[in-house]
Amino acid sequence: AQSVTQLGSHVSVSEGALVLLRCNYSSSVPPYLFWYVQYPNQGLQLLLKYTTGATLVKGINGFEAEFKKSETSFHLTKPSAHMSDAAEYFCAVSKGQAGTALIFGKGTTLSVSS
C-alpha cells in the first residue's frame, strides 16, 4: 500500500525566507511523486512531479523538490518566500501505472508574513 505523510500541518515563514515543506512516502513500488498547491476556494494545481530520471525537480513559481530514495522523502523548497505563496500544499504519490489514482497527504498550510 502507498501512503504519504506531510510533517507539519501549518508552516509559517517571513517574506524572503526559505520555504521547506516536508513529505515522506511509503510505496512498495518505485513511486511517482507530486506536489500540488491549492489557493483559497480553488482547485488543485500541479507544482511539480517526479517520475524517473533526475532526482531534483523544478516546478512553477520557483519551487523545487528532491527525491531521496534512501530517506523516502520528497521535500518541497523555495529559496525566498513571497506573500503570494500563502496556500495549502499537498504531496501525493502514485504507483505510476495507467489508471492508478493519486494518494494525497493531509496537506500543509503555508503562511507568509511581511
Which residues contact another protein (rule: CB under 8 A)?
9, 32, 36, 41-46, 49, 51, 90, 94-107
Pick 2 or 17: Cβ nearer another protein: 2
Q: Shortest distance, CB of residue 37 to another protein, whole angstroms?
A: 11
Q: How far from the centroid of its chain's Cα atoms is residue 21's Cα?
A: 7
Q: Shortest distance, CB of residue 56 to another protein, whole angstroms?
A: 19
Pick 81 or 92: Cβ nearer another protein: 92
Paired with 18 in beta bridges are none
Q: Shortest distance, CB of residue 104 to another protein, whole angstroms?
A: 4
Alpha-carbon gap, residue 94 to 100, rounded angstroms = 7
Pick 58 or 80: Cβ nearer another protein: 58
Pick 73 or 108: Cβ nearer another protein: 108
Alpha-carbon gap, residue 29 to 109, rounded angstroms = 29
DSSP per residue, 26-50: E-SSPPEEEEEEE-TTS-EEEEEEE
Q: Shortest distance, CB of residue 14 to another protein, whole angstroms?
A: 26
Residue type, 104: F
Grid coordinates standing for 37? 498547491
